[in-house]
Structure 1
Amino acid sequence: MRKFILGSIAVLLQLVTVHAATPEKKPVAVVVDYTVKSGKEEELLDILREHARLTVEQEPGCLRFEVLQPVNENGSAIPERLMLTELYADENAAAAHAKNPRLPTLLARIRPLLNEEKVTRTIALASFTR
């Protein structure tokens, strides 16, 4: 019985430690919404795919990087729109990404292809995956 109680206390202490994480230890998600100049979608898509691949390969704090095509309810692509979702382990990993030496060149390449760029940074409050 004593082993069971001590084991239960250890599990509870681990749970409390996980839930008491400071904000800088919470995952950071970045969502980028692009409105693309007409006829430039494929060029931008190629650049973003390569950037996503390199980010995941080179930055251990990047947990996920997705390049997304917004679609209508019927599944058809919304023209001249692309999105990114990026998930970083914590604020330190997101800050490291922001300092990546590839970013100035990347931004210089993509900004002429855009009509608009909206970046939203978030801290994950809850996350459920299968």
Structure 2
Amino acid sequence: MTYLNDSGVEIEGINIWGSPITSWFNDWAFNRNRGGEIKKHWNLIPDDTDILITHGPPFGILDETVYGKRTGGEELLLRVYQVKPKYHIFGHIHEDHGSFTKGETTFINNSILDD
């Protein structure tokens, strides 16, 4: 097992990067304020990342709560568009699970619980 905390691992030539950080949501662990505080974490994502694993979703992609609020990270979305990983896998917003492909990236909200 490899715990990815703003870090990566290469497995059989596939570059995987992971982070538990998420945009502020309630009073949970690994929360960061939007803007510069969270952007410094996303800037660590290497440009050659094939699979990106984050706790929370990017803004506007499988991030809608049961109350209709979008909770994903704007800064994360911008970094994903720059890096263009093959897959971006996340959870956090249980009620918007599923997958969605945009451009070169397949986004997967793999939450397995309801809200």
Give TM-score, length-normalised by structure 1: 0.27
Give TM-score, length-normalised by structure 2: 0.30
Higher Cα radius of gyration: 1
If asked which structure has higher relative contact order (CA below 8 Å, sep 6+), I would say 1
